[in-house]
Amino acid sequence: MLDGLIRPHLDPWLRRAALRLKAAGATPNGVTVAGFLLGAAAFAAIALGLPLLGGLLVLVSRLADGLDGALAAETRRTDLGGYLDIVLDFAFYGLIPLGFAIQDPAVNALPAAVLLCAFYANGASFLAFSALAAKRGLESRARGEKSIYFTTGLAEATETIAVFLAFCLFPAAFPALAYGFAAVTLWTTAFRLREAARLFG
């Protein structure tokens, strides 16, 4: 939901940074992989009981996630780049709750599992919607130029990052935050199912 509000303010800065990366010889896929590796480092920090370091790494990782698309726009967009971006984004989203589950399984394992289940259902609804939209030749620019059809909802990238940062700043509140965001994520899934029924029914 917040992606559409933040994007116009963030895009000019990302474009300037992307131009510097282009001049330095960076590639979009390289930035995508670097962002994921930073996310994996955030997972490791959280699992080791260093949530503040994990939160910092989450921020830097998601900065790279924004930069890869901006760099692709300044160089060349490829289907492989779009595919890699989606797959590694989903892997990152799974790693952060898993890190908290590993850090304190007695307290965090069940809420992490509930959140991951919600992410799984939401991811399936997102990707299936995109596949059917492509089959029908539908396009969407609601979140800028993307490799696949993007549907909007309450739980998008901005909200997810904000919740992940809240996890890291307030690790004792992880169970309550995880259950709450699982509910928001499932609401987004239900909204997308309703849209699919309207468009594809």
| pLDDT for the residue numbered 32 | 94
Number of domains composing the chain: 1
Model pLDDT for residues 135-155, shown as the tens digit of each residue: 887 766 654 555 566 666 667
Domain with 70 in it: what CATH number?
1.20.120.1760
* Contact in structure between 58 and 95 (CB atoms under 8 Å): no
Average pLDDT, the chain: 88
Residue 176's nearest CA partner among 115, 124, 120, 117 is 115
| pLDDT for the residue numbered 149 | 61
Model pLDDT for residues 77-123, shown as the tens digit of each residue: 888 988 999 999 999 999 999 999 999 999 999 999 999 999 999 99
| pLDDT for the residue numbered 6 | 65
Mean pLDDT of 59-66: 92
The reported pTM is: 0.86
Range of the domain at 88: 3-200
| Count of alpha carbons within 13 angstroms of residue 158, beta-carbon side | 12
* Contact in structure between 38 and 64 (CB atoms under 8 Å): yes
